[in-house]
Structure 1
Amino acid sequence: MAITTSKWDAAKFLDTEEDIVAYLDAVMEEGDLSFLCKALGDVARSRGMTEIAKKTGMSRESLYKALSEKGNPSLSTVAAVLEAMGLRLSVAPREQTHAA
């Protein structure tokens, strides 16, 4: 019997505000900007890309492109998307790791 698989989509599992914050926080820990763009896209899709596009004044197509793994959104785009989702960007010091 053949096994059927489908592509995993993080947007389908981002149901609560806590899920979204934890997901984005974990992505920020990685320090990979292309991963952050994709993660913001996942969150936007979980919230409804059409609604986010309306709130930001951008087209859905522009948002999909900017918030893709190969996207390179401006800081103003990131800020607008976060604002539309009721989130904000914050800065915290990195935890120091000491070699033994």
Structure 2
Amino acid sequence: MATIKLRKWNVGEHLKTEEDMARYLEACLEEAGDDASFIAKVLGDIARAKGMTQLARDTGLGRESLYKALSGAGNPSFATILKVMNALGLQFHATQRRAHT
């Protein structure tokens, strides 16, 4: 029997352009339901792909605070989420939710 080698998935390796980042966030927003920690983690993935040091400068928030807030285990304020989204060049938009059948 052959041995299968697995390697850990790193989404950051696939977030090369701002369009990739926006599409990743959009897909995750569709899947997240009401899981706010999942969205915080997704923003953390995007932030690490873009560079956490620059994000800290752009938001005026500490790097360590950003790592914690965007880890999925943190509980960032909505103000922090908005600052991060703005600094990443991303924006929320609202559409009517499809009815569940």
TM-score by length of 2: 0.87
| Aligned-residue CA RMSD (Å) | 1.5
- CA apart distance, 1:5: 3.4
Matched, 1:53 2:56: yes
Residue segments in structure 2 that go unaligned for 5+ positions in a row: none
TM-score by length of 1: 0.88
How much identity, in percent, do the aligned residues show?
Answer: 49
Matched, 1:86 2:89: yes
Aligned residues: 98
Q: Where does residue 6 of structure 2 map in the other structure?
A: 5
Q: Deviations over 1:71-93 (max 9, x none)?
A: 21100000000111111122111
Q: Where does residue 22 of structure 1 map in the other structure?
A: 23
Q: Deviations over 1:17-76 (max 9, x none)?
A: 221111101111122211101100000001000000110011111000000121211000
Which stretch of the first structure deviates more once superposed, 58-67 or 87-96? 87-96
Residue segments in structure 1 that go unaligned for 5+ positions in a row: none
Q: Where does residue 44 of structure 2 map in the other structure?
A: 41
Runs of 4+ aligned structure 1 residues displaced above 6 Å come to none
Matched, 1:67 2:43: no
2:22 is matched by which residue type in structure 1?
V
SS in structure 2 at match of 1:37: helix
